[in-house]
Structure 1
Amino acid sequence: MENNLPKPIGPAEVMYSGIIFDIIHQNMQIGNKTETYEVARRSPGVRIMFVNDDKMLIAKEYRAEISGWDYRLPGGKVFDSLREYKEYIDSGDEIIDYALKAVENEGREEAGLVADNIEYFSKSGSGGRTVNWDLYYFVVDKFHENEGGQMLEPGENITCDWMDFEDVRAVP
């Protein structure tokens, strides 16, 4: 069974670097075979669970890439560019410090709320073998309204609604 575990051969190679994704090739040794793995790597993101009594804040955002509305927890990118993400990777710093800063920024921008108490909840990775995109989840149970309300970027169309926990389960 150990013979079947993929082992990297040499360094990974960035084949393409876009605005959001890097496409990476890594040659792997699997038993007596060699195979090239391809992975799309994206800068990590944060999702914020704003909770108030028995309600949670859900964002409704128009997404041009799906030509429709997306319902989700407020949040966004930890790094604004792949260059910043690569600098972080090379730095050896802890991601959690950057993620906490993103929670503060995204809470103000998307939800119009300033987080007074932020607790790390969990991390999820998605995409299995083909996509590397980590999301860091945080709970914010103490907050106040941002003096200027939401601070949306050009092209963003986001509204937020408080929903009962049970109703959140039914969100598409």
Structure 2
Amino acid sequence: MGTAHPSIVPYQVFPTKDSFMMIGAGNDGQFAKFCQRVGLQDLVDDARFKTNADRVQHRQELIQLIEDELTQQGTQYWLDQLQRRWTFDHPQIKARGLVHEVDHPRAGKIKMVGPSYKFSGFKPSVRLPPPTLGAHTNEVLETVLGYDKQHIESLRSDGAIGK
């Protein structure tokens, strides 16, 4: 399913006119807000998409409608539509210090929502950006599968794994 979630729709990476962005609407209220922000408010009252269960059942239709809309504008346009009125600017998000900026090796500075839980004397944080494709290939091959460096290089030179 790639970046899609099996039981939440929409929840995946979507193309925009110039890039990609991750969209997740984990409940019916978030879905309604998302639709309002991106000009798809008609979908909120559409029987096919009324509840998350409906959206899962009609996944392909909904994903296509969202993609058709998002590819009309660039990523920054959509981020402006969503962020200035939604997650990152919500007073509760700010009060709890949930937004963390991290340096991503390909995307530059990005904002991420950190863990929402906090304990006395312990404040979890975001330590690393999302990994790029293949970032942990060597580590997984070595520690999980027990391959030595020579075997990994052989796989790489044969084109079985990326550079």
TM-score greater than 0.5 by the shorter chain? no
**TM-score, scaled relative to structure 1:** 0.26
Which structure has greater strand proportion?
1
**TM-score, scaled relative to structure 2:** 0.27
